[in-house]
Amino acid sequence: MNYEVVIPAAGRGKRMGADRNKLLLELNGVPVIIHTLRVFEDDPLCSGIILAIHPDDRDTLEQLLTQYDIKKVTHMVQGGEERQHSVYEGLKAAAEEIVMVHDGARPFIKQTVIHRLAEAAETRGGAIAAVPVKDTIKKVQDGFVTETVERSSLWSVQTPQAFLLEVLMEAHREAIRTGFLGTDEASLVEKTGGKVTVIESDYDNIKLTTKEDLVFAEAILAKNDQ
Give the long-range contacts of residues 115-118, CB within 8 A, separation 24 or more.
115/1, 115/45, 116/199, 117/160, 117/161, 117/162, 117/199, 118/1, 118/3, 118/45, 118/162
Share of the chain above pLDDT 70, in %: 96
Q: With bands split at pLDDT 50, 70 and 90, how would you rate the model's confidence at 16?
A: low
Is 165:96 a contact under the CB 8 Å cutoff?
yes
Sign of CA dihedral 162, 165, 168, 169: positive
State the pLDDT confidence band at 151, using cuts at 50, 70 and 90: very high
Count of CB atoms situated within 10 Å of the CB of 123: 11
pLDDT at 196 exceeding the cut of 90 = yes
Classified as helix, coil or strand, 222 is helix
Please give the tally of structural domains in the chain: 1
pTM of the model: 0.95
Is the pLDDT assigned to residue 15 strictly greater than 80? no
- Amino acid identity at 188: L
Q: Rounded to whole angstroms, how far apart are CA atoms 48 and 72?
A: 5
Q: What is the mean pLDDT of residues 4-14?
A: 86
Per the prediction, the chain carries an average pLDDT of 95
Distance CA 223, CA 16 (A): 23
Identify the CATH number of the domain in which residue 193 sits: 3.90.550.10
Q: What confidence score (pLDDT) does residue 108 get?
A: 98
Helix axes 58-67, 32-41, angle to 10 degrees: 50
Q: What is the DSSP string of 156-196?
A: EEEEEEEEEHHHHHHHHHHHHHHT---SSHHHHHHHTT---
Q: What band does 117 get if pLDDT is binned at 50, 70 and 90?
A: very high
CA distance 172 to 101: 13
Residue 87: pLDDT band with limits 50, 70, 90: very high
pLDDT recorded at residue 225: 82
Q: Would you place residue 77 in the very low, low, confident or very high pLDDT band (cuts 50, 70, 90)?
A: very high
Give the domain range for residue 100. Answer: 3-224
